[in-house]
Amino acid sequence: MKSILTKNQIKLTVKRLAHQILENHLNLENTVLIGIQPRGIFLSDRIVDELKNLIPSDKILYGRLDITFYRDDIREELKLANATKIPFSTAGKNIVIIDDVLWTGRTIRSALDALIDFGRPQKVELCVLIDRRFSRELPIQADYVGRAIDTFPSQKVYVRWQENHGGDEVILE
């Protein structure tokens, strides 16, 4: 196993991603943040917390999206759905989708399909903690990247969060 990001590096990376989003969406005007359930919300929660230190919290529209029934592999295994919580319209808004790891692009394709049910957005951007380059199956790329890494398909990337693993770390196995 190889450590990709330590606890302190994750903290700095989250801070940088929040600043980059805010730089491109000044005061988050007409912008919403959407964390992908289940693992993307750990990153999105932290980015939102960081943004609350920079701008008034009433300017932040934040939702959580479950993509379980939009996945193209849903029939391969039974999955339990998580709660989707998007208490606002996304029609005409700039959306920043947030997830932990971008690999094949299939999760993001599912998220795009699911988002359409909440209204037609003006623009959609993607923010990820880890971009596993050279493994894409679909033409999807991230606009905000914490760390880009080159991996073999046989390797696994584990993002461990304090909330569910007792510590923050990204590991390549």
C-alpha angle 10-41-110 in degrees, rounded to nearest 5: 120
Indicate the helix (H) or strand (E) that contains 112. helix 106-115
Contacts of 154 (CB under 8 A, 6+ apart): none
Check pLDDT > 70 for residue 143.
yes
Q: Topology of domain 2-172, per CATH?
A: Rossmann fold (3.40.50)
Task: Give pTM, 2 decimals.
Answer: 0.94
Q: What is the DSSP letter of 54?
A: T
Give the pLDDT score at 81: 77
134: confidence class by pLDDT, cuts 50, 70, 90: confident
Beta strands in 39-164 (DSSP E): 61-65, 94-102, 123-133, 144-150, 157-160
- The torsion of the CA quartet 45, 143, 120, 27, rounded to 10 degrees, works out to 60
